[in-house]
Amino acid sequence: MTGKHAAPQGSANSGYEADVLVIGGGPAGTWAAVCAAQAGASVILADKGYCGSSGATAAAGTAVWYVDPDPQKRAAAMASRYDMGGRLADHGWMGRVLDRTWDGINTLADWGYPFPVDADGVSRRNSLQGPEYMRLMRKQVKQAGGKILDHHPVLELLRDEHGAVAGAAGVDRQRGGAWSVRAGAVVIATGGCAFLSRALGCNVLTGDGLLMAAELGAELSGMEFSNAYGISPEFGSVTKTLFYSWATFTDADGVPIPGAASKGGRSVIARELLRQKVYARLDQADEATRQAMRAAQPNFFLPFDRSGIDPFTQRFPVTLRLEGTVRGTGGLRLAGPDCSTTVPGLYAAGDAATREPICGGFTGGGSHNAAWAISSGSWAGAGAAGHALAARGRGRTAIAAGAAGLRGNGARAADAAALVKAVQDEVMPFERNYFRTADVLEPSVARLDTQWHALRSAAPAAAVDLLATREAAAMLATSRWMYRSALARRETRGMHKRYDYLEQDAAQYHHLSAGGLDEVWVRPRAVDGGGVQSTTQSVPQSAPQTRLAA
């Protein structure tokens, strides 16, 4: 690697070369690796953990947006969340995703995924069990010829002299030392950011890919749609919320809480949690439903079984865990149908990419997100392969692009644990992030900006603290894009609720792009499908640009 910056220091150094580097080993990353390899590219996949068991999907079962190719069924599927998402989704993208997911799920069956068969002998393909799914995907990456680097977290991207991506560098958590990959294209499939909230499978989802891409100048979109909270037992980390449809919610005295079990019940629960404990009991499920629940989501019941609680007959305390952009829809903005970003050679897939094209401003666990992982992963992998193969043989420099926590001139390095807590103090409380108002958001932004500038002026982290410091930096950067976008959208749309602007405003029918590091900017962008023909209306030409200084 040439250039004025060096790779992170360690006791050993490993250098690799590939046409395509995929960062992240969840469903989106593995689909990207398989499709890039099938397109003729040499592929390396680097995972922060162990590809196949790391991340949100590997830890649980998930529904999939898998719909028969019947025009009426497809139309109903596309309409199901369109209004809920603030009408920001794009029908062109939705149709493509439904087509690709249909093919992808059927390919999984051909590869040997054990889909259950119903009483009529029909294979039921609308859900996946994470452990089996990811075990199969790891196998497919290897069979396609991809090389997997487990426990190789990426700390920064590399760029060439023209600003295009040229690879990445990181640390080897098992053997120690630094490593780097020179690549013609990179796919960011690092997932979303759950701010280390202890939601199951989300401990590796700290927004790393968003920060690294932004350091190359990539833009983000939909970051205001990032205040997703999942219901969880107070003593557990499982945030699968479907089963709470059969729950009765009560206060400490056993008095039912009005509205807690309704469609908008999460906000009711959040308000109650600000003043008292909330309890649940899944007593609305009959015996057949209870058995089906245990079969479908066995890990949901592990915390109860370990605590000696029968959730169907006994009350248990619940809380809301922040899932941020994991169940939100914000992420890297896509510049075209191949899931390219605004940086040459850089692609995004899965939760690291904005899901606005198919969800607008609202999504949830599984379903659309699972379909998006298959689809965007496939397109990003193929697109990255095409880009890299076209550039094969061109000599380029590779300059390290990382900054915050890696390079600085201060006398003392940042305290990563203290920085994580400072970010969590701003983004986790319901009274800040769920019940959003300018009076609350503006002081939070000011404090987050102060933390960012302190980090930028700190000394580089010691080798042992590099990963924790970069994770903290990524969460900090994500929180600033998130809250600045929330301030810029002065209305309620999708999951973004401004309690000082509770109505949806037709004049704000647009996406919000965001970017920048030392100076964060936010500006409206027309609802145009991001390169895919859209059937939705466009933003009026008079829509003003909003630029917010850091």
34: its two tokens:
């398989």
Determine phi and psi for 521, rounding to 5 degrees. -125, 155
Residue 266 among the catalytic residues: yes
How many Å apart are CA 499 and CA 506, to the nearest integer? Answer: 17
Nearest to 522 by CA among 228, 226, 225, 221: 221
How many Å apart are CA 479 and CA 448, to the nearest integer? Answer: 8
Q: Which of 138, 159, 266, 484 is catalytic?
A: 266
476: its two tokens:
């900090």
Task: Please count the other Cβ atoms lying within 10 Å of the Cβ belonging to residue 329.
Answer: 35
How many Å apart are CA 349 and CA 327, to the nearest integer? Answer: 15
How many Å apart are CA 511 and CA 497, to the nearest integer? Answer: 15
- The burial of 528, by beta-carbon neighbours within 10 Å (0-12 exposed, 13-18 middle, 19 or more buried), is given as middle
| Strand ranges of the sheet holding 220-221, from the earlier edge strand across to the other edge | 331-332, 220-221, 511-515, 521-525
| C-alpha count within 13 angstroms, C-beta hemisphere, residue 168 | 31
502: its two tokens:
């509770």
Render 359-395 in DSSP notation, one character per residue: HTT---SSBHHHHHHHHHHHHHHHHHHHHHHHTTT--
| Sign of the CA dihedral running 333, 339, 345, 351 | positive
Whether 81 contacts 89, CB under 8 Å: yes
Active site residues: 266
